[in-house]
Chain A
Amino acid sequence: MTAVLEVSRLTRRFGAVVANDDVSLRVRSGEVVGLLGHNGAGKTTLVSQVVGLLRPDAGRITVAGVDTVARPAAARRMVALQPQAHVPIDGLTPTAAIRVAARLRGLDAARAREAARRLVADLDIEAWAERRALPEGRGLSGGVRRLVGFAMAVVGGAPLVILDEPSNDVDAVRRRALWAAVRRVADQGSGVLLVTHNVVEAERVVDELVVLDAGRVVAAGTPARLRGDDGLRLELHLAPDGPDPSDAVPVPVRRRVRSGRRVLLTIPPDAAAAAVSWAASHRERGGLDGYALAPATLEDAYLAATAGPRSEADEVVGGV
Chain B
Amino acid sequence: MSDPSLGPWAAYRTLLSWQLAQIGGLLPLIVVVQALLAVGIVIGFGLLIPSIDPSTAMFLATGAPTVLLLTVGLAIVPQGVARARLDGTFTYMRALPVARPLLFLADLTVWVVVCVPAVGVAVLVGWLRYDLELSFRWPLLVGAALLVTVTATAVGYAVAVVLRPVLAQLVSQVLVFFVLLFSPVTFPAGRLPDWFRALHDVLPVRPGADLLRAGLASEVYEAGGRDLVVLLCWCAVGVAISLRALVRRE
Q: A residues within 8 Å of B by Cβ? A: 2, 4, 51-55, 64-65, 72-74, 76-81, 83-88, 90-92, 96, 100, 103-106, 134-135, 156-159
Q: Which residues of A contact B249 (CB under 8 A)?
A: 52-55, 72
When the two chains form the complex, which single residue of B3, B25, B87, B94 contacts A77, counting CB atoms closer than 8 Å?
Answer: B3
* Cβ-defined contact, B21 with A92, below 8 A: yes
Q: Which residues of A contact B91 (CB under 8 A)?
A: 53, 83, 85
What is the minimal beta-carbon distance from A152 to any residue of chain B, in angstroms? 10
How many residues of chain B have a CB within 8 Å of chain A? 32
In the A-B complex, the 4 residue pairs with the closest CB atoms: A85-B88, A91-B21, A106-B4, A88-B89
* Cβ-defined contact, A96 with B21, below 8 A: yes
Cα distance, A65 to B2, chains bound together (Å): 11
* Cβ-defined contact, A76 with B97, below 8 A: yes
Q: Which residues of B contact A96 (CB under 8 A)?
A: 21
Residue-wise interface mask of B (1-29) relative to A, using a CB-CB cutoff of 8 A (1 in contact, 0 not) = 10111100011001101100111110000
Question: What is the chain A residue whose CB lies nearest that of B93?
Answer: A88
Question: What is the chain B residue whose CB lies nearest that of A102?
Answer: B14
* Cβ-defined contact, A81 with B4, below 8 A: no
* Cβ-defined contact, A156 with B4, below 8 A: yes
User: Other than the known A76-B96, A81-B92, A83-B95, what 9 A-B pairs have Cβ atoms closer than 8 Å?
Assistant: A53-B95, A73-B100, A78-B3, A83-B88, A86-B88, A87-B92, A91-B23, A104-B6, A158-B97
Cα distance, A53 to B84, chains bound together (Å): 15
Q: Which residues of A contact B25 (CB under 8 A)?
A: 90-91, 134-135
Mostly, the B contact residues are: helix
Cα distance, A315 to B250, chains bound together (Å): 36
* Cβ-defined contact, A106 with B5, below 8 A: yes
Please tell me if B99 contacts chain A, counting CB pairs below 8 Å.
Answer: yes
Residue-wise interface mask of B (86-129) relative to A, using a CB-CB cutoff of 8 A (1 in contact, 0 not) = 01110111111111100000000000000000000000000000
What is the minimal beta-carbon distance from A59 to any residue of chain B, in angstroms? 14
Cα distance, A304 to B97, chains bound together (Å): 38
Q: B residues within 8 Å of A by Cβ? A: 1, 3-6, 10-11, 14-15, 17-18, 21-25, 84, 87-89, 91-100, 249-250
* Cβ-defined contact, B92 with A79, below 8 A: no
Q: Which residues of B contact A76 (CB under 8 A)?
A: 95-97
* Cβ-defined contact, B94 with A53, below 8 A: yes
When the two chains form the complex, which single residue of B14, B21, B24 contacts A103, counting CB atoms closer than 8 Å?
Answer: B14
Question: What is the chain B residue whose CB lies nearest that of A101?
Answer: B96
* Cβ-defined contact, A158 with B88, below 8 A: no
Q: Which residues of B contact A158 (CB under 8 A)?
A: 4, 97
Question: What is the chain A residue whose CB lies nearest that of B96?
Answer: A104
Cα distance, A79 to B99, chains bound together (Å): 14
What is the minimal beta-carbon distance from B177 to any residue of chain A, in angstroms? 26
Question: What is the chain B residue whose CB lies nearest that of A55?
Answer: B249
Cα distance, A92 to B23, chains bound together (Å): 10
Question: What is the chain A residue whose CB lies nearest that of B15?
Answer: A104
* Cβ-defined contact, A74 with B3, below 8 A: yes
Question: What is the chain B residue whose CB lies nearest that of A65?
Answer: B1
Question: What is the chain B residue whose CB lies nearest that of A108?
Answer: B10
When the two chains form the complex, which single residue of B14, B87, B89, B250 contacts A104, counting CB atoms closer than 8 Å?
Answer: B14
Q: Which residues of A contact B24 (CB under 8 A)?
A: 91
Q: Which residues of B contact A81 (CB under 8 A)?
A: 92, 95
Cα distance, A79 to B97, chains bound together (Å): 7
* Cβ-defined contact, B22 with A88, below 8 A: yes
26 A-B residue contacts at CB 8 Å? A53-B91, A53-B94, A53-B95, A53-B249, A55-B249, A64-B1, A76-B97, A77-B4, A78-B1, A80-B97, A84-B88, A85-B88, A86-B87, A86-B88, A87-B92, A88-B92, A96-B21, A100-B14, A103-B6, A104-B6, A104-B11, A104-B96, A104-B98, A106-B5, A156-B4, A159-B1
Q: Which residues of B contact A85 (CB under 8 A)?
A: 87-89, 91-92
Question: What is the chain B residue whose CB lies nearest that of A90?
Answer: B22
Q: Which residues of B contact A64 (CB under 8 A)?
A: 1
Question: What is the chain A residue whose CB lies nearest that of B17?
Answer: A100
Q: Which residues of B contact A79 (CB under 8 A)?
A: 95, 97
- A55-B250 contact given A103-B6, A104-B98, CB 8 Å threshold: yes
Cα distance, A157 to B22, chains bound together (Å): 25
What is the minimal beta-carbon distance from B35 to any residue of chain A, in angstroms? 22
Cα distance, A2 to B95, chains bound together (Å): 23
